[in-house]
Chains A and B, each alone.
Chain A
């Protein structure tokens, strides 16, 4: 009896993992806040990035302010391969990354081990 309950629990857990990680879920998005012809977004780095998708306006100088509050060394750098940026993120400090918004498009960023991702969308 015990074994059957555990088997069911195990199978349920597998189903949950599949749904939780592989299912499509809403991603945290944010539009940049404009301030005297500049735009910026604060991004918290904790088990990933919040927000994960950032909308920027084309042609307006933009900065993303990353603050890492997670001590995982997976997240200790943020890499924008399109811009050649590889910024170290010391824990607890705000690090500013300048984004070139001259061309519209989608630019992905990732952690140094390419496990966590985020996206900048310039419109």
Chain B
């Protein structure tokens, strides 16, 4: 039977008894039929509303388990059975206690069920985000087919107002697309031919044809859903204590209840009825549910809220670790800076230097290579064929061009290379301007220099200052030389610079920092995977559809430094909410049980079982509400 039916049954049948309890002292009004009416009403409540508690408790008991139902079933059954005995032996009865406790507990459960549904709401929204159909080209015509039948390489037409069905690339047409549901970015993004589009985002103005690149489980939405699902159901280390407590909670409460009874009845010489009321109050007030719900509901709301903002926190462990971070390390290129360096100066024979450098860099995967190629393209230079291309780790690249040995790389780290003194002065001058300088070497003689600069992102300084306000120390980690790094750091107010670190050593640097600090590392996830994994919290910043999903503990879908701040604030808020919930759940039981047991009866503080039941119902409800409110706090 549904909980709501059980609740309404017990509420309607309890009301006459409640009415009598309230107005009897003033008017002397009694229920028609007196105790017999009470017996009948309560019996119906016990059968219909409390029955499932009793059967559940019994089947759990047979498996050596216990839960909240055990306490409710026992507490109310004892009251009910004692009252029948009391009725026939002409003693005061407590039928209404049993009835009210059941009503209150069910009220709590009905409300709690609603709130739990609200708490897991974010997930349902994500699941319904995807498009159901797509206009796919089949036999030279665009026909509407279910999304599940779209395969990689399909050409899909997207009309204004429609959802982009899968991830892919625009092949013709242009439009602006609202990507807020996936990235959290509120402004529509302009898209032209060749741009990536993400499934589930909404096409606004134009229509275009796209080619499907990722379908089914590979789409960004599917991956986000996967991460959020795992995160929402993960455990936080802080839960371990409650897990231990939960395992022994109910039997311990039962033992306390028996002790309470024995103390009142035997040692304090009270009547069986008085002793029973205290014992039942103990059983009814104890609430393992609040403890059990404290962490999962907050985790669910917190991670769901993050997903809406384009911040994916992978699990409770990461969330807890993020809370104790005191140092945050940034990769420089692409994280602090735009990641699109440009050639600013060329020293030496401009055409020759650039042509040789570009010919070599065409084969390189170094982040600075595109800048040099772009400059060569702008000058309309022809690239020359290269033989014996090699990458010199940590320095640069070399190869044979037109029979000469050409190398492009860092100006300092190679001893056998000769360099003119005036060029050396130039190097210092350029580096002082926060530019990266590469030397172009022909047959061990430096021919010329190319200066490249990668400017900081517009909001980098704001983000760094916000992090300082959160009490974090900021560090920038880069393979660039000290001067360049210092200049950038100064522009964005970063506290410490660790420069000239080879990519392979980044993880080692993080490890060193971890000796004294709790470290978060922010990188783009492409070549930072070891550092992201080494750090206590790895924050991978994505750009567009390239989400570095595996690398980081926290994945930021947008390439926005402010999201680092939001991610940390969200983690802190969520973790604080978990702590608050746990504190409330523990303190409630720690204070509630002694009061119910009558420890403070000497000063007149006691609880009747029905008040205990009400308190119990609202303790778990309040924990869930507290978690739901986390979704509404300002980040």
For chain B, residues 252 to 301, give those with C-beta under 8 angstroms from any C-beta of chain A: 254-255, 258-259, 261-262, 265-266, 288-289, 292-293, 296
Cβ of B111 to closest chain A Cβ, rounded Å? 11
Q: How far is the CA of A81 from the CA of B67 in the complex (A)?
A: 21
For chain A, residues 89 to 123, give those with C-beta under 8 angstroms from any C-beta of chain B: 112-116
Q: Which residues of A contact B288 (CB under 8 A)?
A: 113, 115
Find out whether the CB atom of B67 lies under 8 angstroms from the CB atom of A74.
yes
Q: Which of B53, B58, B234, B258 lies at the interface centre, i.e. has the most chain A CB atoms within 10 A of its CB?
A: B258
Instruction: Check A86/B63 contact, CB under 8 A, given A7-B262, A70-B56, A114-B296.
Output: no
Of the residues B63, B243, B246, B262, contact of A47 by C-beta under 8 Å: B63
Q: Mark B193-237, 1 if CB is under 8 A from A, else 0.
A: 000000000000000000000000000000000100111111100
Q: How far is the CA of A80 from the CA of B55 in the complex (A)?
A: 26
Q: How many residues of B contact A (CB 8 A)?
A: 52
B60 part of interface (Cβ distance < 8 Å): yes
Q: Which residues of B contact A115 (CB under 8 A)?
A: 65, 67-68, 246, 288, 292
Which chain A residue shows the least CB distance to B230?
Answer: A84
For chain B, residues 355 to 377, give those with C-beta under 8 angstroms from any C-beta of chain A: none
Of the residues B61, B68, B261, B262, contact of A74 by C-beta under 8 Å: B68
B64 part of interface (Cβ distance < 8 Å): yes
A65 part of interface (Cβ distance < 8 Å): no
Of the residues B1, B62, B226, B248, contact of A84 by C-beta under 8 Å: B226
Instruction: Check A46/B59 contact, CB under 8 A, given A6-B265, A7-B262, A74-B67.
Output: yes
Q: How far is the CA of A76 from the CA of B116 in the complex (A)?
A: 11
Q: Which residues of B contact A11 (CB under 8 A)?
A: 262
Find out whether the CB atom of B59 lies under 8 angstroms from the CB atom of A47.
yes
For chain B, residues 89 to 120, give those with C-beta under 8 angstroms from any C-beta of chain A: 109, 112-113, 116, 120
Which chain B residue shows the least CB distance to A72?
Answer: B56
Q: Which residues of A contact B113 (CB under 8 A)?
A: 73, 76
Q: How far is the CA of A83 from the CA of B112 in the complex (A)?
A: 25
Find out whether the CB atom of B293 lies under 8 angstroms from the CB atom of A113.
yes
Q: How far is the CA of A72 from the CA of B53 in the complex (A)?
A: 7
Q: How far is the CA of A7 from the CA of B239 in the complex (A)?
A: 37
Q: Which residues of B contact A47 (CB under 8 A)?
A: 55-63, 65
Find out whether the CB atom of B63 lies under 8 angstroms from the CB atom of A52.
yes
Q: How far is the CA of A73 from the CA of B7 in the complex (A)?
A: 13
Q: Which residues of B contact A80 (CB under 8 A)?
A: 233
Cβ of B404 to closest chain A Cβ, rounded Å? 54
Find out whether the CB atom of B248 lies under 8 angstroms from the CB atom of A81.
no
Find out whether the CB atom of B67 lies under 8 angstroms from the CB atom of A3.
no
For chain A, residues 1 to 16, give those with C-beta under 8 angstroms from any C-beta of chain B: 3, 6-7, 10-11, 13-14
Of the residues B59, B64, B265, contact of A20 by C-beta under 8 Å: B64
Of the residues A14, A20, A73, A85, contact of B3 by C-beta under 8 Å: A73
For chain A, residues 23 to 73, give those with C-beta under 8 angstroms from any C-beta of chain B: 23, 25, 28, 46-48, 50, 52, 70-73
Q: Which of A28, A70, A85 lies at the interface centre, i.e. has the most chain B CB atoms within 10 A of its CB?
A: A70
Of the residues B239, B251, B289, contact of A17 by C-beta under 8 Å: B251
B66 part of interface (Cβ distance < 8 Å): yes
Q: Which of B62, B67, B234, B235 lies at the interface centre, i.e. has the most chain A CB atoms within 10 A of its CB?
A: B67
B331 part of interface (Cβ distance < 8 Å): no
Q: Which residues of A contact B239 (CB under 8 A)?
A: 114
Q: Which residues of B contact A18 (CB under 8 A)?
A: 251, 255
Which chain A residue shows the least CB distance to B289?
Answer: A113
Find out whether the CB atom of B251 lies under 8 angstroms from the CB atom of A70.
no
Q: How far is the CA of A7 from the CA of B262 in the complex (A)?
A: 6
Which chain A residue shows the least CB distance to B110?
Answer: A73
Q: Which residues of A contact B233 (CB under 8 A)?
A: 79-81, 84-86
Q: Which residues of B contact A50 (CB under 8 A)?
A: 63
Chain A contact patch, size range: 35 or more
Which chain B residue shows the least CB distance to A85?
Answer: B233
Find out whether the CB atom of A25 lies under 8 angstroms from the CB atom of B53.
no
Instruction: Check A114/B243 contact, CB under 8 A, given A13-B258, A47-B58, A50-B63.
Output: yes
Find out whether the CB atom of A7 lies under 8 angstroms from the CB atom of B69.
no
For chain B, residues 161 to 179, give those with C-beta under 8 angstroms from any C-beta of chain A: none
B188 part of interface (Cβ distance < 8 Å): no
Q: How far is the CA of A70 from the CA of B52 in the complex (A)?
A: 7
Find out whether the CB atom of A14 lies under 8 angstroms from the CB atom of B59.
no
Q: Which residues of A contact B265 (CB under 8 A)?
A: 3, 6
Cβ of A34 to closest chain B Cβ, rounded Å? 27
Which chain B residue shows the least CB distance to A49?
Answer: B63
Q: Mark B523-558, 1 if CB is under 8 A from A, else 0.
A: 000000000000000000000000000000000000
Q: Which residues of A contact B59 (CB under 8 A)?
A: 46-48, 70
Q: How far is the CA of A47 from the CA of B73 in the complex (A)?
A: 13
Q: How far is the CA of A25 from the CA of B61 in the complex (A)?
A: 12
Cβ of A4 to closest chain B Cβ, rounded Å? 8
Which chain A residue shows the least CB distance to B275?
Answer: A6
Q: How far is the CA of A115 from the CA of B64 in the complex (A)?
A: 12
Q: How far is the CA of A7 from the CA of B58 in the complex (A)?
A: 25
Find out whether the CB atom of A17 lies under 8 angstroms from the CB atom of B255.
yes
Which chain A residue shows the least CB distance to B109?
Answer: A73
Find out whether the CB atom of A25 lies under 8 angstroms from the CB atom of B64.
yes
Find out whether the CB atom of A81 lies under 8 angstroms from the CB atom of B262.
no
Which chain A residue shows the least CB distance to B243?
Answer: A114
Q: Which residues of A contact B266 (CB under 8 A)?
A: 3, 6-7
Q: Which of A46, A73, A112 lies at the interface centre, i.e. has the most chain B CB atoms within 10 A of its CB?
A: A73
Q: How far is the CA of A37 from the CA of B65 in the complex (A)?
A: 35
Q: How far is the CA of A79 from the CA of B300 in the complex (A)?
A: 13
Q: Which residues of B contact A46 (CB under 8 A)?
A: 56, 59
Q: Which residues of B contact A73 (CB under 8 A)?
A: 3, 109, 112-113
Cβ of A31 to closest chain B Cβ, rounded Å? 19
Q: Which residues of B contact A84 (CB under 8 A)?
A: 226, 229-234
Instruction: Check A70/B67 contact, CB under 8 A, given A17-B255, A114-B296.
Output: no
Q: How far is the CA of A22 from the CA of B242 in the complex (A)?
A: 17
Q: How far is the CA of A112 from the CA of B232 in the complex (A)?
A: 12
Which chain B residue shows the least CB distance to A115?
Answer: B67
- Residues of chain B touching chain A, judged by Cβ–Cβ distance below 8 Å, are 1, 3, 52-53, 55-69, 109, 112-113, 116, 120, 226, 229-235, 239, 242-243, 246, 248, 250-251, 254-255, 258-259, 261-262, 265-266, 288-289, 292-293, 296
- Residues of chain A touching chain B, judged by Cβ–Cβ distance below 8 Å, are 3, 6-7, 10-11, 13-14, 17-18, 20-23, 25, 28, 46-48, 50, 52, 70-76, 79-81, 83-86, 112-116
Query: Would you list 12 pairs from A and B whose C-beta atoms are within 8 A, ordered by A residue?
Result: A3-B265, A6-B262, A7-B266, A14-B255, A21-B250, A47-B56, A47-B57, A47-B58, A48-B59, A80-B233, A81-B234, A115-B65
Q: Which 7 A-B pairs have the closest CB atoms?
A: A47-B59, A47-B60, A84-B230, A113-B292, A84-B229, A21-B251, A72-B56
Known: A47-B62, A70-B55. 5 other contacts (CB 8 A): A14-B255, A112-B296, A113-B289, A113-B293, A114-B292
